[in-house]
Amino acid sequence: MRVHINLDTRLVKRLDRKVGKRKRSAYIRQLVERSLEDERRWSDILSSIGTISDNGHVWDPDPAAWVHADRRSDPRRVG
Its pTM stands at 0.62
Residue 6 placed within a domain: yes
pLDDT digits (tens, 9 = 90+) for 23-79: 999 999 999 999 999 999 999 999 999 887 777 888 888 999 998 888 888 888 765
Residue 67 placed within a domain: no
Residue 70 placed within a domain: no
Residue 17 placed within a domain: yes
Within the chain, what is the greatest distance between any pair of CA atoms? 61
Domain residue limits at 16: 1-50
Q: What is the pLDDT of residue 55?
A: 77
Residue 29 placed within a domain: yes
- List Cβ neighbours of 66 (8 Å cut-off, separation of 6 or more): 58, 59
Residue 73 placed within a domain: no
Q: How many domains does the chain have?
A: 1
CA-closest candidate to residue 16, choices 27, 29, 5: 27
